[in-house]
Amino acid sequence: MFATVALSSLEVPSSVLCPGPSAHPPSPTSPIRHVFFVIKENHALENYFGSLPGVHGYPPNGSFPIAIGSNRTIAPFPLNESSTPDLPHDQVSERADENGGLNNLFVAEAAADGAQVPQDAVGYYTAKQLPDYYAYARAYLLHDEFFTGVLGPTLPNRLFDLGLTGLTWNNDLPPPPAYVPGDTILNQLDGAGLPWNYFYSGSGAGSEPFFLPQLGGNVCLAQHILSVENLGPVLSGPRAPALAFIDPSADPLYSEHPPANVTLGEEWTVALLNEIFASPVGNSSAVFLFYDEAGGYWDPATPPSAPPQGDGFRVPLLVLSPWTPAGVISHEVIDPAALLRFVDDNWGLPALNPRVAASPSITAEFAFRAVPRPATILPTPVLLGSVHPLPASNAAGGPTDAFSYGFLASEIARFTRDGCTGQCPHSHRHLESARDRRTFALGRRHRAARGLDLPRQAHSSLGSGAGGAKRGGRFSLKAAMPSGSSERSAASTAP
């Protein structure tokens, strides 16, 4: 999103001799041998899951002045469309939104900042726009008290997610040239002899590592930074990563950064998760799917006052693995430092830094003594790195998947026509409301006809590892959600 780096810059000069793999890397302390941080863009927890019963903040409720000093107010409302224009989400705006803990100035601050539709700050999506994310919440574990590491925009939050938890700089401009904040989790893993990768989606190499001399400035480490198109081959190869970051922030079509279409971004995420869980490492993997920051959308929970800058607002965090209990909502207050602690604990490494050491352990969220559950594989027309039309019929003579591909093709055509690069003007909103309603009505009929529109069930099961039945080049959709699991004291079960 912020910088592009020519792929040729990732090539290691012949004069540089990079160290080979360690002969004795540490072994994991759990059955999880591969961890994935999938970090998408700019949505608060309430904006995505406020309509899910059991979540703190359900149902969405509040009264928000429409302007600074105004007595006129607006209440939270469900969005009819699948996108909104962007909202102000710099640190100054978010401190104003917070309003001393009242969390009631999101609309007024957006209006003062010149947002095109400031009332969208208190709008929220539902399972209508995000059916697959709601399916994952019922099939796996959702955190509803997960806060971002920095009250501020994308770049400082993504650097926090890499382990730079002592940030004092907070904006989306590149850090000063002399800014060297310490080792990241990737440097720590590399020093321990554990493989890692940073996968990006979009027009250029993942930007955040290239701001850091300890990552992008090291030609031997930079070769681990790859396009997401390489994910499948890497996972099938001899050096599948212990930890992989997957960063679509430079991809304006799929990142979900407003004004991107959230349903289309969800389809990309489904394709990504299918790729992971259908791979040879899928049966020994855990995925943490979360958002870099809240994007200026309202959330009712006041962020903790964590040093040095304070955490940011709540964002969704889904935890997916064969050992994740189904349908659980965890209410434990954590931020990305807890995920970094999980990585350190899982490989018996010392805490990366004091902030990580002080974070709660989330290892108890995994039922390692239980029989591993098969992965939930959902259908999607999106392929990582490219888009292909679906065949007219599958090998079993089934109907054309016209809705999914037609919806996708129309979005790509609109995107190309409007020339959007991540900050489209209001006149280029992704779907008009009437068209949105028709699209999702068609989609509901399409899913129901194929046995997919089952809001309280997982849609498919894939056997452990790379197995699993396929039909016509797509996964065969068979099983219902696995049986429920015991609750923890700090959790409730999603309906």
388 or 318, which is more confident? 318
Q: Is the dihedral of CA 126, 129, 133, 134 positive or negative?
A: positive
In tens, the pLDDT along 264-312 reads 999 999 999 999 999 999 999 999 999 999 999 999 999 998 777 889 9
Amino acid 15: pLDDT: 53
**Where is average pLDDT lowest: 21-30, 146-155, 346-355?**
21-30
pLDDT of residue 16 exceeding 60: yes
> How many CB atoms are located within 10 Å of the residue 466 CB?
15
pLDDT of residue 341 exceeding 70: yes
Round to whole Å and give the CA distance between 398 and 379: 14
Amino acid 331: pLDDT: 97
pLDDT of residue 381 exceeding 90: no
Rounded to two decimals, the pTM is: 0.79
In tens, the pLDDT along 418-449 reads 433 333 332 222 333 333 333 333 333 333 43
DSSP sequence for 414-475: HHHHHT-SS---GGG-SS-HHHHHHHHHHHHHHHHHTT---TTS----B-STT---EETTEE
Amino acid 169: pLDDT: 80
In tens, the pLDDT along 227-238 reads 999 999 999 999
402 or 311, which is more confident? 311
Amino acid 435: pLDDT: 32
CATH topology of domain 33-495: Alkaline Phosphatase, subunit A (3.40.720)
Amino acid 173: pLDDT: 78
Three state DSSP letters for 209-225: HHHCCCCCCCHHHHCCE
pLDDT of residue 321 exceeding 90: yes
59 or 10, which is more confident? 59
Q: How far is CA 443 from CA 81, 181, 407, in A?
A: 14, 47, 9
490 or 111, which is more confident? 111
pLDDT confidence bin for 210, thresholds 50/70/90: confident
Instruction: List CB contacts of 412: < 8 A, sequence separation 6 or more.
Output: 253, 387
pLDDT of residue 336 exceeding 70: yes
Structure tokens at 381: 């027309």
Amino acid 217: pLDDT: 81
DSSP sequence for 60-117: P---EESSTT-S-EE--EE-SSS-------SHHHHHHHHGGGT---HHHHHHHTT-SS
Round to whole Å and give the CA distance between 90 and 99: 15
Q: Percent of the chain scored above 90 by pLDDT?
A: 61
Looking at this protein, which amino acid is placed at residue 402?
A
**Where is average pLDDT lowest: 37-51, 57-71, 382-396, 398-412?**
398-412
Cβ pair 168, 221 in contact under 8 A: no
Round to whole Å and give the CA distance between 157 and 148: 7
Structure tokens at 367: 């039922």
- Taking each helix axis from N to C end, the angle separating 402-418 and 262-277, rounded to the nearest 10 degrees, works out to 120
Amino acid 452: pLDDT: 34
Round to whole Å and give the CA distance between 96 and 107: 10
In tens, the pLDDT along 123-149 reads 999 999 999 999 999 999 999 999 999
In tens, the pLDDT along 143-179 reads 999 999 999 999 999 999 999 988 788 888 777 766 6
pLDDT confidence bin for 320, thresholds 50/70/90: very high
How much is the average pLDDT of 387-415? Answer: 37
Structure tokens at 138: 């019922």
In tens, the pLDDT along 449-459 reads 333 332 322 22
Round to whole Å and give the CA distance between 328 and 138: 7
- pLDDT, averaged across the chain: 78
